[in-house]
Amino acid sequence: MAKTKTKEVVDLKPENVTEDQLKKIQDQIKRINSFQLEVGIMETKKHAMLHQIGSIQNEILETQKELEEQYGTADVSIETGKINYPENGEADKKD
């Protein structure tokens, strides 16, 4: 019986994508990275602004304490500066 030689199978699958496809993929990844960087910058600014808001809120609390000590209330119209005393007419002024 004669031995038959098996033919070697050649893999015809491409090894690389085309240059245009590679450039397209690289551009897409570059754009995503750019937007992610921008989002990170915005989040950092947001974080800093939230800290500033917290500081201002603390200032407001201090101002309210000062107003309560001086006028007995911190209920003041921010448009006119008019003090809105309690309806019973008695302020808790601390002298």
| HEC letters along the chain | CCCCCCCCCCCCCCCCCCHHHHHHHHHHHHHHHHHHHHHHHHHHHHHHHHHHHHHHHHHHHHHHHHHHHHHCCCCECCCCCCECCCCCCCCCCCC
Top-confidence range, 9-23, 57-71, 76-90: 57-71
6 has a pLDDT exceeding 90: no
Residue spans of the domains in the chain: they are 19-87
- pLDDT, the chain, mean: 91
